[in-house]
Amino acid sequence: MSALTLVPDLPTDHPETAVADAPPTDAPTRSWLATTVAQLRAHRERGAATAEYAVTIIAAVGLAGLLVTILASSDVRTMLLKIVKQALTI
């Protein structure tokens, strides 16, 4: 595998390394190339789900912090106690 790319190095006797401007005529070469391109495309999307989970977790933590701040205020606490007392008296 080359150090700068994700594409594996071809053997020196491989048809694509022999002549760079010659059109590929070998079916296994095209199959190898198509397989490699498909693998690279699948690899490119692999981290997308992880990034989406990270954004969701950050948003959930932010919302939880906001709720803690709101519920810790004295006005909200008084209002909630009033609602609970009214519910228990009925």
pLDDT, one tens digit per residue, over 65-86 is 999 998 888 898 899 899 999 9
Residue 69 within any structural domain of the chain: yes
Q: Tell me the C-alpha distance between 62 and 37, whole Å.
A: 39
Q: Above 50 in pLDDT, residue 2?
A: no
Residue 61 pLDDT exceeds 90: yes
pLDDT score of 35? 83
Domain that holds residue 72: 48-89
Residue 79 is predicted with a pLDDT of 92
Q: Going by C-beta distance under 8 Å and a sequence separation of 6 or more, which residues neighbour residue 90?
A: none
The number of folded domains in the chain is 1
Whether 35 maps to a domain, the answer reads no
Q: Residue 65 domain-assigned? A: yes
